[in-house]
């Protein structure tokens, strides 16, 4: 789908002592100051992924640095596919990134938002300026969907096969999203109180509204995703009630009230595995 004239040939003469900025083309959206980079077939020089699932292009200096934060429990099969696919996808984009898998090891209902808060804190401490929150069942289909942060918080996955590639509602802000560390801190992260499926992403959207942060999306064509099939999570009861008071909790429920026990952190070849008891 990328027009041929957008492909960049990376010169083989680059030496590591004189790193130049990675080549990105200014395309798509002026207001987001984003651009994409696609490189040619010569790229596959074997694996350059460091333990912990971190990758940095070696022949140029990347402009974007992103932590990919994935909440996880009990989907080993999906995770394997996700990791292999995402490393291929992300390396094409010539960005610096690291994949964090945050696993809930207790047996309480799944708390996606709290896991994302934990991943965000870890990534912020590691110095990442851009946080990409990503469900493990979503695979991006378009290389132009750059995994980097824009001036405004961005909803990456607006066009998913499961919803027949149509955005279900305008304020949907779940699935795969990107926010700068500054934006995430400004809204005190996400609510820690959503155990069970649903509502935590709508709560996050309410926080954006309070902070007057406008949401942006790339065009549907660029935002296409394939959702892997899976069993559904038990839905959270009374999530409407929790959501109703989202605005009153923003300053007391979030990053500043986050409590959990880190059970272990293991650096695997393709990801950093953080196991937590919520």
Shortest Cβ 269–ligand BGN spacing (Å): 31
Shortest Cβ 32–ligand BGN spacing (Å): 23
With CB under 6 A as the contact rule, which of the stretches 69-77, 238-246, 255-263, 268-276 interacts with ligand BGN?
A: 238-246
Shortest Cβ 22–ligand BGN spacing (Å): 34
Helix axes 200-210, 112-125, angle to 10 degrees: 60
Single residue of 54, 103, 202, 253 touching ligand BGN by CB under 6 A: 202
Cβ proximity to ligand BGN: between 52 and 198 the closer is 198
By CB under 6 A, is residue 124 in contact with ligand BGN? Answer: no
Pull the structure tokens for residue 214: 């406008």
Helices (H), the chain: 76-92, 112-125, 181-186, 200-210, 239-244, 246-249
By CB under 6 A, is residue 243 in contact with ligand BGN? Answer: yes
| C-alpha span between 148 and 143 (Å, rounded) | 12
Give me the residue whose beta carbon is nearest to ligand BGN.
198
- CA torsion, ordered 270, 54, 56, 95, to nearest 10 deg: 90
Nearest to 115 by CA among 158, 74, 169: 74
What is the Cα 47 distance to its own chain's centre? 22
b/e map 152-191, b = 16+ CB within 10 Å: bbbbbbbbbeeeeeebeeeebbbbbbbbbbebbebbbbbb
Single residue of 240, 256, 261, 265 touching ligand BGN by CB under 6 A: 240
Single residue of 103, 135, 137, 201 touching ligand BGN by CB under 6 A: 201
Cβ proximity to ligand BGN: between 62 and 199 the closer is 199
Q: Under rule CB under 6 A, which residues in 125-184 are in contact with ligand BGN? A: 168, 172, 174
Contact residues for ligand BGN (CB under 6 A)?
168, 172, 174, 198-199, 201-202, 239-240, 243
């Amino acid at each position: 789908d990328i027009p041929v004239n957008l492909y960049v040939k990376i010169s083989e003469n680059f030496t590591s002592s004189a790193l130049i900025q990675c080549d990105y083309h200014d395309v798509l959206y002026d207001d987001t100051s984003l651009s994409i980079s696609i490189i040619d077939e010569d790229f596959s020089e074997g694996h350059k992924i460091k333990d912990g699932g971190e990758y940095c292009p070696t022949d140029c200096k990347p402009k974007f640095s992103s932590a990919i934060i994935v909440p996880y429990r009990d989907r080993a099969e999906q995770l394997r596919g996700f990791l292999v696919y995402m490393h291929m996808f992300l390396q094409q984009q010539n960005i610096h990134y690291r994949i964090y898998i945050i696993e809930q090891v207790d047996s309480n209902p799944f708390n996606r938002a709290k896991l994302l808060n934990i991943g965000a804190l870890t990534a912020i401490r590691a110095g990442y300026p851009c946080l990409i929150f990503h469900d493990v069942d979503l695979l991006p289909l378009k290389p132009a969907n750059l995994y980097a942060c824009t001036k405004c918080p961005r909803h990456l996955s607006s066009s998913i096969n499961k919803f027949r590639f149509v955005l279900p509602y305008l304020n949907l802000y779940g699935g795969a999203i990107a926010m700068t560390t500054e934006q995430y801190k400004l809204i005190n992260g996400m609510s820690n109180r959503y155990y069970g499926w649903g509502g935590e992403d709508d709560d996050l959207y309410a926080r954006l509204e309070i902070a007057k942060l406008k949401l942006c999306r790339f065009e549907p064509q660029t935002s296409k995703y394939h959702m892997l099939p899976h069993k559904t999570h038990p839905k959270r009861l009374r999530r409407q009630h929790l959501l109703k008071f989202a605005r009153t909790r923003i300053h007391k429920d979030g990053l500043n009230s986050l409590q959990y026990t880190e059970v272990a952190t293991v650096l695997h070849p393709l990801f950093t595995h953080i196991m937590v008891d919520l």
